[in-house]
Amino acid sequence: MEQSVIAADIEGFIRTRFSIGDDEDLTRDVNLFDYGFIDSMEATEIIVFLEERFNVEITQKDIILYPMNTINESAGIVMGKQIE
């Protein structure tokens, strides 16, 4: 699966789940925490979504080693996990 397709799925989930709608400030490279789109509890929901939707395991080590602050960063981690 291409990274752009993964990113589109993640973006759609975030916009719908957290009622962001068509807010133009939400881009795939914006820091979701710094802009107040999500908090740590919502980040947990995103990780669960990634694991279930893309059949990958995001470990605590992954969370420490790799930034997941943007949609594109999260999509990149999923891509890496699918290659493993």
CA atoms within 13 A on the CB side of 29: 0
Domain map of the chain by residue range?
A: 3-83
Is the model's pLDDT at 84 over the cut of 80? no
SS3 of 6-65? HHHHHHHHHHHHCCCCCCCCCCCCCCCCCCCCCCHHHHHHHHHHHHHHHCCCCCHHHHHH
Average pLDDT for the chain: 95
Rounded to an integer, what distance in angstroms lies between the CA atom of residue 49 and that of residue 25?
22
pTM, entire model: 0.93
pLDDT > 70 fraction of the chain, expressed in percent and rounded:
99
Rounded to an integer, what distance in angstroms lies between the CA atom of residue 6 and that of residue 4?
5
Domain 3-83 has CATH 1.10.1200.10: yes
